[in-house]
């Protein structure tokens, strides 16, 4: 092949392709022309490589084809669109897919808290073995409520957010063990039940719910979601289904990261409520109503919007383009 003649014949096409690639705006005709010239330039590059691989020409055509490909498929998506896709599609779908694992986590937590609450609330001897009588009365009369008035509200909210995030991260990261989330749920349920039992035994059950429900509904739900998402990774490891175990575990872990990131603002809201709403001078019914409204909004987001996104095939996993091709194998 005569390289000089080849360049002379096709240079106008390459120059035009370069012009279209650099254009900031293309109409329908321009896009069609760009696609056509891109395909032709790709063919030219293949021809040069196979017949007369001139280094300079190969380098020029490779760069031109690469830039044209980026112009066609690599247009930058604004950051706000990525954020919208994450919070409106990926996150609710991942939350919805983990719903049954979250329900299991909720069942374990509620069982532990109710049983321990009834046990310690009805058995004075059991309470005395765990918390001396004098400390019980101090808890009911002062300590339980004073906890929510420690320091500045903003600092307290930040501390609560950090603590809850740490607990949730533990449930997420160690969820693959299948043991840590269960132990964490039972332990937290036991502590909540113990506090409720002591408060109820001394006539402070109403105070307990007034200071727990405003932030606790969302806070505990976030922890349950983290634990449930963690348990899903364990189940993917135990029962991978038709795909290799590592693939199933990888898919569950990627969706787990989506949930973990999404819980950060949720816990931030919960910390804000605990720092500013729970100890506020608002009427108890209004404080509880604020917490219930936030919790209800999250449940609609998780189950309502999550169901819609999940029906379109979104799971919270990365796209196939980013994950790569997968071929299912037996065993």
Helical H segments across the chain, by residue range: 3-22, 28-51, 55-73, 79-85, 91-97, 99-122, 124-130, 133-138, 144-146, 153-173, 180-201, 205-238, 245-272, 284-299, 306-311, 320-323
pLDDT beneath 50, residues of the chain: 320-331
101-150 pLDDT, tens per residue? 999 999 999 999 999 999 999 999 999 999 999 999 998 988 888 888 87
pLDDT at residue 151, as a whole number: 67
pLDDT at residue 314, as a whole number: 82
Long-range contacts of 169-174 (CB under 8 A, 24+ apart): 169/226, 169/260, 171/223, 171/226, 171/227, 171/229, 171/230, 172/226, 172/229, 172/230, 172/256, 172/259, 172/260, 173/230, 174/230
CA distances from 197 to 110, 120, 123, 149 (A): 14, 5, 9, 22
Query: Cβ(192)–Cβ(117) under 8 Å?
Result: yes
Cα separation, 142 vs 157, whole angstroms:
20
Cα separation, 215 vs 156, whole angstroms:
13
- Orientation angle between helical segments 284-299 and 245-272, nearest 10 degrees: 160
pLDDT at residue 317, as a whole number: 65
pLDDT at residue 327, as a whole number: 40
pTM of the model: 0.70
Q: Would you give the distance in Å from CA 191 to the centre of its chain? A: 27
Cα separation, 104 vs 293, whole angstroms:
23
pLDDT at residue 77, as a whole number: 59
199-230 pLDDT, tens per residue? 999 999 999 999 999 999 999 999 899 888 88
What mean pLDDT is reported for the chain? Answer: 84
pLDDT at residue 106, as a whole number: 95
Question: Tokens 């196939």 map to which residue?
Answer: 320
pLDDT at residue 318, as a whole number: 55
């Amino acid at each position: 092949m005569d390289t000089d003649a080849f360049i002379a014949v096709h240079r106008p096409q390459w120059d035009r392709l370069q012009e279209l690639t650099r254009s900031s705006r293309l109409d329908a005709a321009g896009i069609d022309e760009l696609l056509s010239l891109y395909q032709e330039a790709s063919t030219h590059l293949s021809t040069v490589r196979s017949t007369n691989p001139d280094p300079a020409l190969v380098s020029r055509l490779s760069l031109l084809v690469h830039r044209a490909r980026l112009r066609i498929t690599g247009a930058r998506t604004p950051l706000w669109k990525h954020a919208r896709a994450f919070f409106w599609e990926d996150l609710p779908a991942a939350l919805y897919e983990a719903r049954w694992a979250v329900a299991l986590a909720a069942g374990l937590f509620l069982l532990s808290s109710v049983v321990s609450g009834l046990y310690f609330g009805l058995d004075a001897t059991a309470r005395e073995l765990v918390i001396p009588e004098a400390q019980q009365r101090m808890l009911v009369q002062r300590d339980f409520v004073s906890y929510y008035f420690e320091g500045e509200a903003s600092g307290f909210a930040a501390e609560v957010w950090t603590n809850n995030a740490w607990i949730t991260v533990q449930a997420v990261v160690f969820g693959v063990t299948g043991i840590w989330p269960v132990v964490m749920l039972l332990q937290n349920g036991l502590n909540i039940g113990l506090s409720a039992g002591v408060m109820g035994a001394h006539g402070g059950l109403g105070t307990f719910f007034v200071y727990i429900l405003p932030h606790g509904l969302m806070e505990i739900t976030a922890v349950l979601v983290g634990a449930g998402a963690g348990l899903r990774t364990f189940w993917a490891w135990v029962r991978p289904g038709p795909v290799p175990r590592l693939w199933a575990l990888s898919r569950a872990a990627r969706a787990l990261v989506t949930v973990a990131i999404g819980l950060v603002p949720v816990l931030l809201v919960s910390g804000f409520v605990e720092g500013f709403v729970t100890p506020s001078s608002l009427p108890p019914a209004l404080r509880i109503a604020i917490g219930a409204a936030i919790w209800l909004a999250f449940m609609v987001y998780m189950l309502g919007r999550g169901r819609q996104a999940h029906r379109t095939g979104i799971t919270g996993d990365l796209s196939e383009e980013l994950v790569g091709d997968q071929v299912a194998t037996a065993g």
